[in-house]
Structure 1
Amino acid sequence: MAAPLKRLTLAAFAAPCLPLTGVGLPLIVYLPPYYAGTLGLDLALTGIIFSAVRWIDLPLDIVFGHGIDRTDTKWGRFRPWMVIGGLVMMAGLALVFFAEPGLSPLRAFLGLLLMYAGYSAAAVAHTSWGQALSTDYHERSRIFGWWQGTNMIALMGLLAVPPLVNALGPRWGLEPSTALGVHAMGWVLLALMLPALLAVSTGVPDGAPLHGSPHGWSDVKTALKRPLLQRLLLIDLLATLPAGFGGALLVFFFEAARGFSQADARLLLLFYFAAGLIGAPLWGWVARRTSKHMAVAWAIGSYAVLHMGLVLAPNAGFWVAAAGMLLAGIPAVAPPFLVRAMLADVTDA
């Protein structure tokens, strides 16, 4: 059995999660309303632009993965893609978070496209790097447990930035506004990126490729025909869709169906993600005591039951809803990190 990685190495590996997570739910929660409201972009057009960029970005993951697989430099296989992708993402973040009112649809589209292209290159390199750090079955769960736990910390921290800055703004002579919160989030993401890239570049080993020669597109097609990989990709898809829909709709649900204010609805999300700090080590422990696939099965089953209860339960006030969100968030963290650890196992096969 391979020696376990040091905690300092795991912390360095997880560091890029802090800025990369900002391109997920925090951006979806704050940016579309900001573009459609403060910046004056048409609401329907805003939705089309944000959706179109993600669809265009989708095949880039495959292209970047293929490129990473064929990379063999003195700086390693993953490190160049991680650093270059992170720097490109920084340029996109500056364009997206600091756009001026009256921006054209083309300007909005190009800024988002640049940001997501850099994000995709860095994110694919990052998760691939994690899978290559160990060949041990349980150590992979530990690696991606750190990855998921850091994602949860980043989510809670970033979602708290706009309300915190708006609350403290008057003390600094700043007028509370949506723009103030969005700009603050942009500055935080930019400030986190360079230290994160430095940490992962200097603190994480990046060895030789795991195979003798780069894979071609025919190898990718052959791999996709394997039942194990097909099953795992299907599990990942089915486990990701509810979380994606839920993240986008929960705020609207608590506002429209439960009568909470927008501020309270967003605060409830923090309880949901705070559960990840409990859930990540818990499901890692379950995976070590049973297996990764059994832990994923239990997590998905409990996720369905707890979310059904959350939706069907009558409105009993903020703190009851917060407790429900805390419980519902515990199983939500398991599939993302355990499926990625399982993917490394399937790759060995």
Structure 2
Amino acid sequence: MRLLTKAAYAAPSVGLAGVSLPLLIFLPTYYATQRGLQIAAVGAAFAIIRLLDIGFDPLIGAAMDRTRTRFGRFKPWMAVGTPLFMLAVYALFMPPAGAGLTYLVLALLAAYAAWSICFVSQLGWGVALSGDYAERNSIFGWWQAAYLLGSLVITTLPLTPALRTDPALAVPTMGQFILIATPLAVIVALLVVPEPPSGPRPRVALADYLKLMVRPNIARLLAIDLLIGVAVATNAALFFFYFGFARGLPFGQAAILLFATNLGSLIGALLWGRLGSLIGKHQAASVGFIAYAALLAIVHLAPFERLPVGAGVMMLFGATLSAGPVLVRSMLADVGDEERLLRGADHTGLISALFSNSNKLGAVIGPAVAFAVLGATGFQAKTATQAPETVRALALMAIWAPAAIGLVAALLARGHALTAQAHAEIRTRLQAQTP
């Protein structure tokens, strides 16, 4: 597959990432500090809406599986979802004066629903692009690199002189970037990237969705994706709070560390897929999750008073963050082939929806628990200093809990049964079935 095709396929991730990172880091802080909403209420709003949105994904995935057009089954959904996404971004990132909790809930509901359409369609589209074990690593490596490029831009914005002196402008500026980057990238992807023809339209029922969830290989990958999602989302949601209150760093310096983290993730996106092709995706994922846990401990001990040292540590830590998105999604494509062989139906849309759900659940559970724990210890976002027990709870939730979860995910990844050899046999049998 040409590099241009992979790059064009990945391009919409730049804008989609512009929402993902703020939803975890910037928007909760923005609505709690700049808009004056209670942090517990903000955390609950983000958690409840994302839980409601989980029920939306299987409906979208099933509809995509049954879609048959001359343009493909996933590309039309991307074309429809993008303008809805633009409207939701405008509402969420540029709220009017006096916008309260009800406004936040409605804007979140629209943003998550539109993002789901775009995310599931892009993921399913990528799964369909190639059946090659190693090629899929490359496809999702490009996908992750584009995603991280968007994250880098988002984390750079607060470092600009104008936004550094007025943090209240950071979130609206992020919204402006998303409104420009996303439609341009989607247009390029729709024009440049083909979508392979689909097989017969499958029967899709709720029972199919439930059966997929208990397939051994799919269930294992879902558990891994959920665990890593919980760990990463927890750490991300507490990023500025941890470095501000537990490490005593000003916002500007913490923003530089976040930029270094995303820069390291971008480098990692180019490396994990290659390692997966060399030693197997499951083995590479296990190595990545163990490294993630180890680097979290180093982050807690590193001397961040010296910015170059701290930035270097965060780049190394950031490199570990790409292992899950690249390798787990590549393994997802492989189990889709296994499912097609065993059941005789292509449920790429439903499988993509399952993994969209695990991603969302992780982003719900981690921050919700973390904010609840901090709220119970008396944490106040606008207070300059915190009680010692609050600082300890902050370190527990931002560092040690994610590290422990990463080790569990590494153990699960080592037991994944669909190796390169097993997948090659599946592809051979699928090709033999093709008339």
What TM-score, normalized by structure 2, do the two folds share? 0.74
Match of 1:248 in 2: 237
> Is the 8 Å Cα contact of residues 15 and 150 (structure 2) preserved in structure 1?
yes
Counterpart pick for 1:317 among 289, 292, 306: 306
Match of 1:112 in 2: 108
Percent pairwise identity: 37
Matched, 1:201 2:190: yes
Gaps of 5+ in 2: 339-435
Q: Could you say what secondary structure the match of 2:131 adopts?
A: coil
CA 1:239 to 1:45, structure 2 compared with 1: closer, same or farther past 3 Å? closer
CA 1:210 to 1:265, structure 2 compared with 1: closer, same or farther past 3 Å? farther
What pairs up with 1:197-236 in 2 under 5 angstroms?
Answer: 197-210=186-199, 212-236=201-225
Matched, 1:128 2:148: no
Matched, 1:337 2:337: no
Q: 1:63-101 CA deviation, whole Å, 9 max, x = no partner?
A: 211111111122210011112111111000111111112
> Is the 8 Å Cα contact of residues 163 and 169 (structure 2) preserved in structure 1?
no
Equivalent-residue separation in structure 1 for 2:320 and 2:231 (angstroms): 12
Q: Could you say what secondary structure the match of 1:24 adopts?
A: helix
Equivalent-residue separation in structure 2 for 1:24 and 1:45 (angstroms): 20
What TM-score, normalized by structure 1, do the two folds share? 0.91
Equivalent-residue separation in structure 2 for 1:215 and 1:64 (angstroms): 11
Counterpart pick for 1:237 among 206, 221, 226: 226
What pairs up with 1:1-349 in 2 under 5 angstroms?
Answer: 5-164=1-160, 166=162, 176-210=165-199, 212-313=201-302, 315=304, 317-349=306-338
In the TM superposition, residue 315 of structure 1 has moved relative to its aligned partner by 5.0
Q: 1:25-65 CA deviation, whole Å, 9 max, x = no partner?
A: 23432222322333344443333222222121122222211
Q: CA RMSD in A?
A: 1.8
Equivalent-residue separation in structure 1 for 2:304 and 2:103 (angstroms): 43
> Is the 8 Å Cα contact of residues 153 and 277 (structure 1) preserved in structure 2?
yes
CA 1:76 to 1:265, structure 2 compared with 1: closer, same or farther past 3 Å? same
Equivalent-residue separation in structure 1 for 2:270 and 2:168 (angstroms): 36
Letter in 2 for 1:37: T
In the TM superposition, residue 265 of structure 1 has moved relative to its aligned partner by 1.0
Deviates more, 1:253-262 or 1:307-316: 307-316
> Is the 8 Å Cα contact of residues 18 and 151 (structure 1) preserved in structure 2?
yes
> Is the 8 Å Cα contact of residues 77 and 117 (structure 2) preserved in structure 1?
yes
Q: 1:262-305 CA deviation, whole Å, 9 max, x = no partner?
A: 11112101111101222112112111111111110111111111
> Is the 8 Å Cα contact of residues 165 and 181 (structure 1) preserved in structure 2?
no
Q: 1:213-240 CA deviation, whole Å, 9 max, x = no partner?
A: 2433222222222211111111111222
Deviates more, 1:58-67 or 1:134-143: 58-67
Letter in 2 for 1:144: F
- Structure with larger RCO (C-alpha < 8 A, sep 6+): 2
Gaps of 5+ in 1: 169-175
CA 1:33 to 1:300, structure 2 compared with 1: closer, same or farther past 3 Å? closer
Match of 2:346 in 1: none
Equivalent-residue separation in structure 1 for 2:216 and 2:83 (angstroms): 37
Number of positions where the alignment pairs a residue of Structure 1 with one of Structure 2: 338
CA 1:56 to 1:96, structure 2 compared with 1: closer, same or farther past 3 Å? same
> Is the 8 Å Cα contact of residues 24 and 233 (structure 2) preserved in structure 1?
no
Equivalent-residue separation in structure 2 for 1:192 and 1:292 (angstroms): 31
CA 1:311 to 1:210, structure 2 compared with 1: closer, same or farther past 3 Å? farther
In the TM superposition, residue 181 of structure 1 has moved relative to its aligned partner by 1.9
Letter in 1 for 2:255: R
CA 1:250 to 1:106, structure 2 compared with 1: closer, same or farther past 3 Å? closer
Letter in 2 for 1:131: V
> Is the 8 Å Cα contact of residues 39 and 100 (structure 1) preserved in structure 2?
no
Equivalent-residue separation in structure 1 for 2:333 and 2:16 (angstroms): 21
